Amino acid sequence: MKNNFVISDREKEALINYLSGHFSNTDAEILNTWLKKNPENSLLTDRFTDIWQASSYLQINKSIDVQSAWNELQSGLQQNTNNQSHWKRWLQVAAIVIISLLAGGLGSYFISHSQNQKPEPQLVEYVSPLGSRSFVKLNDGSKVWLNSGTTIKYSNTFGNNNRHIELSGEAFFEVAKNEQLPFTVNTGEICVTALGTKFNVKAYKEEKTIETTLLEGAVKLESDVVKLQDDLVLKTNEKAVFTKRNQSMAIVGQLRSENEKDIATPGRPSLKIIQSVDPQPIVSWKEKRWIINNEKLGSLSVKLERRYDVNFIFDNEILKEYSFGGTLEDETLAQVLNAISYTAPIRYVIDGKTVYIMADGKKMEKFKNLLMK
Amino acid sequence: MTGIEKELIESLKKGNPKSFELVFKTYYSRLCTYAFDYTRQLETAEDLVKDFFLNFWNNREKLEIKTSLSGYLFRSVHNQCLNYLEREKKKKLEISSDNLYLIELKLRQPLSSDYPIGSLLAKEMENQIEEIIENLPEQCREIFKLSRFDELSHKKIAKKLNISENTVKVQIYRALKKIKEAIPFILAVLFSFF
Residue A113 has pLDDT above 80, yes or no: no
Q: What is the pLDDT of residue B116?
A: 81
Q: What is the pLDDT of residue A109?
A: 35
Determine, for residues B11 and A247 on separate chains, whether the beta-carbon distance falls below 8 Å: no
Q: What angle do CA A316, A322, A326 make, to 5 degrees?
A: 140
Nearest CA in chain A to B26: A66
Question: How is A47-79 classified by DSSP, letter by letter?
Answer: HHHHHHHHTTHHHHHHH--HHHHHHHHHHHHHH
Task: Please report which residue ranges of chain B form alpha helices under DSSP H.
Answer: 3-13, 17-39, 42-58, 69-90, 97-106, 119-122, 126-134, 138-148, 154-161, 165-182, 184-191
The predicted model gives B122-132 an average pLDDT of 84
Residue A81 has pLDDT above 50, yes or no: no
CA distance B176 to chain A (A): 6
Q: Which CATH class is domain B1-114?
A: mainly alpha
Q: What is the pLDDT of residue A89?
A: 37
Mean pLDDT (chain B) is 85
CA distances from A340 to A54, A130, A352, B88, B182 (A): 44, 22, 19, 67, 41
- Whether residue B110 is preceded by a cis peptide bond, meaning omega within 30 degrees of 0, is yes
Determine, for residues B115 and A162 on separate chains, whether the beta-carbon distance falls below 8 Å: no
- Give yes or no for A181 touching B (CB within 8 A): no
Q: What is the pLDDT of residue A245?
A: 66
Could you say which residues from 140 to 159 on chain A have a Cβ atom under 8 Å away from some Cβ of chain B? Answer: 153-155, 157
Determine, for residues A90 and B17 on separate chains, whether the beta-carbon distance falls below 8 Å: yes
Determine, for residues B17 and A87 on separate chains, whether the beta-carbon distance falls below 8 Å: yes
Q: What is the ipTM of this complex?
A: 0.91
Percent pLDDT > 90 in chain A is 18
Residue B93 has pLDDT above 80, yes or no: no
Q: Quick check: A156 and A113 in contact, CB under 8 A?
A: no
Q: What's the CA gap between A243 and A231, in Å, rounded?
A: 19
Other CB atoms within a 10 A radius of the CB of residue A123 amount to 20
Nearest CA in chain A to B22: A123
Nearest CA in chain A to B53: A73
- Give yes or no for A75 touching B (CB within 8 A): no
Picking from A7-16, B68-77, B112-121, which range would have the lowest pLDDT averaged per residue? B112-121
Q: What angle do CA B74, A153, A180 make, to 5 degrees?
A: 105
**pTM score, whole prediction:** 0.49
Look at residues A34, A13, A36 and name the one whose alpha carbon lies nearest to residue A23.
A13
Picking from A12-16, A262-266, B51-55, which range would have the lowest pLDDT averaged per residue? A262-266
CATH of domain B125-194: 1.10.10.10
Picking from A85-94, A152-161, B115-124, B141-150, which range would have the lowest pLDDT averaged per residue? A85-94
- Going by pLDDT thresholds of 50, 70 and 90, the confidence category of residue A257 is very low
- Going by pLDDT thresholds of 50, 70 and 90, the confidence category of residue A114 is very low
The predicted model gives B111-123 an average pLDDT of 81
Contacts of A166 in chain B (CB under 8 A): 2, 4
Q: Quick check: A73 and B50 in contact, CB under 8 A?
A: yes
| Preferred mutation among A53, A193, A244 to probe B, highest tally of B CBs within 10 A | A53
Q: Which of B54, B117, B121 sits opposite A57 (nearest CB)?
A: B121
Q: What's the CA gap between B22 and A1, in Å, rounded?
A: 39
Other CB atoms within a 10 A radius of the CB of residue A47 amount to 23
Residues 6+ apart with CB under 8 A from A152: A125, A126, A136, A144, A146, A165, A166, A167, A168, A169, A171
Contacts of A55 in chain B (CB under 8 A): 126, 129-130, 133, 144, 148, 179
Residue A116 has pLDDT above 80, yes or no: no
Q: Quick check: A225 and A242 in contact, CB under 8 A?
A: no
Determine, for residues B128 and A64 on separate chains, whether the beta-carbon distance falls below 8 Å: no
Q: Which of B53, B154, B189 sits opposite A226 (nearest CB)?
A: B189
- Going by pLDDT thresholds of 50, 70 and 90, the confidence category of residue A139 is confident
Q: What is the pLDDT of residue A91?
A: 38
Domain ranges of chain B: 1-114, 125-194
Could you say which residues from 210 to 229 on chain A have a Cβ atom under 8 Å away from some Cβ of chain B? Answer: 224-226
- Going by pLDDT thresholds of 50, 70 and 90, the confidence category of residue A271 is confident
Contacts of A93 in chain B (CB under 8 A): 17-18
pLDDT: which is higher, A361 or B168: B168
- For β-strands A191-194 and A163-174, DSSP reports them as unpaired
Q: What is the pLDDT of residue B168?
A: 94
CA distance A48 to chain B (A): 6
A61-73 pLDDT, tens digit each:
888 989 888 888 8
Handedness of CA B149, B151, B154, B157 (dihedral sign): negative
Q: Which amino acid is at B19?
A: S
Residues 6+ apart with CB under 8 A from B96: none
Other CB atoms within a 10 A radius of the CB of residue B131 amount to 12
Q: Quick check: A168 and A150 in contact, CB under 8 A?
A: yes
A152-196 pLDDT, tens digit each:
888 878 888 889 999 999 999 999 888 888 999 999 888 999 877
B14-52 pLDDT, tens digit each:
888 888 988 999 899 999 999 999 998 898 999 999 999
* Beta bridge partner(s), residue A211: A202, A241
Look at residues B25, B7, B9, B24 and name the one whose alpha carbon lies nearest to residue B60.
B9
The predicted model gives A143-149 an average pLDDT of 88
